[in-house]
Chains A and B, each alone.
Chain A
């Protein structure tokens, strides 16, 4: 088993009715539950605030940001266990963010043998 992170991007500014929001949440809960019971969910992870600070360079210049477009902003992450990247990608296809214009970035956690 290898570890992967799912980075959730976008899918936050779609106008939704109360009912649609509720349905979205139910879908997320169902998806995580499935990942959990099949032993693929290592950590739920965390949602991230959109506004933060960026510190750059040896000058340590601090700016507000990152001001990426909403669809490119990482809104949160989870930690997944899968056989290989193909399986991790396959599992990500059930993510409800895909239904509301968002994306999941699947990144292998680097294997380091020390």
Chain B
């Protein structure tokens, strides 16, 4: 089995989704148990006999047989999916119905159903994302906790509460009702966006986790695009944004595990296939009248992707896109990014002014890259002492060793620049003195 192929994780979501469809959402815990049993069984058999040709089919067949056992054994004691009730009661229809529900196409719908169910309006956005990661992406409690950089206990509590809400929702979300679908679609898009961002900008230290979260978000977005009601211009924009950002993943961190700023990345190593895919999605998103934040963010990402060198970046357009983004989602982070773009076209002083005028910039106080941006701009202004103070403040807020090394390097750069400047000043003074003497 290929170590990079996360078979159990991937199949976990498919199996839980299919089983929950049969057992009913109130039996979510039962579905999860059946999946765990199937995994245990797979491990027992495969460790000795080796992994079969088609492990996914093997696991699905095991889950299907367990489902039949459970249905036969407990149909008098338990109620299962209400919409399937009659079919599950009769031995004549039981096996064919279960067979049908385990067909590949049916499982795709089940995943979508589960995705929409996880984005329940009674759950916070954070809880929705955690639930998607845990149920659909097969991340264990510990893995979910490390993805969000929280403790096992906190994550378990959040998941337990979220599952209770989900199990209490009587039935799974109906993805065939167009009005309901469209009403919940924005929440689903948002959850996938947050999941991707957690991977892309999140605090998790391990690079591998980063990339995996982005991959999961992209996989689920692709699933959304396969559904007639899901493939809206906004979903295309979201997919475009993910592809264009993910194209830069290989260069965000160097071989030594150090963070590289967008401006310093080796652009020749960006994943061109993803760039092309992203641009294609961006084109497909350009219909209809709705301009979502994903459209604007994807457009910004496309400008970076299309600039062969940092200095070729069309910063004017980037600034105007951030202006638009501010009208859709005026968050301090967006304002900070806008200020950075302004600094690129109009100089660091203007950038600093823009940052100072961010109304709710106190909300950025705990974000290390807020102080780091101030440091960067002060450094470019030549105010090394101030720059160093900002980088030190950022360093104190660093969320993982990678950020710590990066910011430590920036503190060092200020000090180097300072000695360099002192040297140049000395040279300059010597020159002046020489001129005086001549």
What residues of chain A have their CB less than 8 Å away from a CB belonging to chain B? 8, 12-13, 16-19, 21-22, 24-26, 28-29, 32, 44-47, 75-76, 78, 96-97
Least distance between B369 CB and chain A CB atoms (Å) = 30
Not counting A12-B44, A17-B140, A22-B8, a sample of 17 additional A-B residue pairs whose C-beta atoms are within 8 angstroms of each other reads A13-B40, A18-B6, A18-B7, A18-B8, A19-B8, A22-B7, A24-B47, A25-B43, A25-B47, A28-B47, A28-B48, A29-B1, A44-B50, A47-B49, A75-B44, A78-B48, A96-B47
Task: List 14 contacting pairs A-B, 8 Å CB cutoff, sorted by A.
Answer: A13-B40, A16-B39, A17-B143, A18-B8, A18-B140, A19-B6, A19-B143, A21-B8, A21-B42, A22-B3, A25-B51, A26-B3, A28-B46, A78-B48
Contact of A45 among B46, B48, B140 (CB under 8 A): B48
B142 at interface by CB-CB < 8 Å = yes
* Docked complex Cα distance between A47 and B310 (Å): 59
- 22-54 of chain B: CB within 8 A of chain A: 39-40, 42-51
How many chain B residues touch A (CB < 8 A): the figure is: 24
B12 at interface by CB-CB < 8 Å = yes
Closest 6 CB pairs of A and B: A18-B8, A17-B140, A28-B47, A18-B9, A76-B48, A47-B45
* Docked complex Cα distance between A28 and B139 (Å): 23
Complex interface: chain A residues within 8 A of B49 (CB): 44, 46-47
Complex interface: chain B residues within 8 A of A32 (CB): 50
Inter-subunit contact A18/B138 (CB<8 Å): yes
Most B CB atoms within 10 A — which of A17, A45, A46, A96? A17
* Docked complex Cα distance between A88 and B120 (Å): 57
Contact of B1 among A16, A25, A45, A46 (CB under 8 A): A25
Complex interface: chain A residues within 8 A of B139 (CB): 17-18
Inter-subunit contact B1/A12 (CB<8 Å): no
* Docked complex Cα distance between A26 and B1 (Å): 7
Q: Look across to chain B and name the residue whose beta carbon is closest to the beta carbon of A95.
A: B47
Contact of A21 among B43, B142, B143 (CB under 8 A): B43
* Docked complex Cα distance between A8 and B44 (Å): 10
Q: Look across to chain A and name the residue whose beta carbon is closest to the beta carbon of B50.
A: A29
Inter-subunit contact B1/A22 (CB<8 Å): yes
Q: Mark B138-153, 1 if CB is under 8 A from A, else 0.
A: 1110110000000000
Contact (A47, B48) CB under 8 Å given A19-B6, A21-B39, A24-B43: yes
Inter-subunit contact A76/B44 (CB<8 Å): yes
Contact of A22 among B6, B44, B143 (CB under 8 A): B6
Least distance between B284 CB and chain A CB atoms (Å) = 33
Inter-subunit contact B44/A25 (CB<8 Å): no
